[in-house]
Amino acid sequence: MKVVQGNIFDKSFLASIFIGHDAVVSCLGFPRNPQPVTGYTESATAMTSAMREANVNRLVTMTAWYTDTTSASTSGFLVNWLLVPFLRPVLTNMHEMEKYLESSCSDLNYTVVRPPGLGTGPKTGLPMQVQEDYLVTTNSSMNRISRADVAFFMLGCLNTDEYNRKMIAIITQK
């Protein structure tokens, strides 16, 4: 593994890093302030341009549940009236990035992975429930998944074509 410090918004820098690689896996996160949040769309534009320049076709990236904020309407009071309004600037830009991938990246093989709230626990090894939607229907309004489980799933997407050009919500099955 090689760690490189650089600018995620610099297409030329990214292209030089991507040359000779088969895929890009992105788990970027941006704070909700200052507003508006633009990091997701700006980094996706730079990454996809750099991927084309470096002849890299595969992208696995992460957003979150509720990027279409109307999907929270059936998720209970805490999610619909507290969590989503609090995260709206981030979720809105994530959704804009997803729309950019759909409308402008048909030449790339992308997968968007949408986990719920992220936890710090270890990889659980539990089976993953996957739904092509903005969230996975569960019996809880406060869903969490370990970052390790998300990372394991995202890397696994590189070894299958099941999720090519799809946007999927995930959660570990209990």
- Residue 166 domain-assigned (yes or no): yes
- Residue 20 domain-assigned (yes or no): yes
Q: In whole angstroms, how far apart are CA 34 and each of 2, 4, 28, 69?
A: 31, 26, 17, 20
Q: Put residue 76 in one of left, alpha, beta given phi > 0 → left and psi -120 to 50 → alpha.
A: left
Domain membership of residue 22 as a residue range: 11-172
pLDDT (0 to 100) of residue 174: 80
- Residue 3 domain-assigned (yes or no): no
- Residue 2 domain-assigned (yes or no): no
Which residues sit opposite 131 in a β-bridge? Answer: 169
- Residue 1 domain-assigned (yes or no): no
Residue 79 phi/psi, 5-degree rounding, is -70, -50
> Per residue in 27-46, pLDDT tens?
999 999 888 999 999 999 99
For residue 115, give the nearest of 160, 79, 167 by alpha carbon: 167
- Residue 5 domain-assigned (yes or no): no
pLDDT (0 to 100) of residue 141: 75
Q: What is the CATH number of the domain that holds 128?
A: 3.40.50.720
> Per residue in 79-91, pLDDT tens?
999 999 999 999 9
Q: Is the pTM of this model over 0.85?
A: yes
> Per residue in 108-119, pLDDT tens?
999 999 999 999
- Residue 6 domain-assigned (yes or no): no
- DSSP H or E stretch at residue 170: strand 166-172
- Residue 66 domain-assigned (yes or no): yes
Q: Which residues contact 153 (CB under 8 A, 6 or more apart)?
A: 113, 128, 170
Domain count, the chain: 1
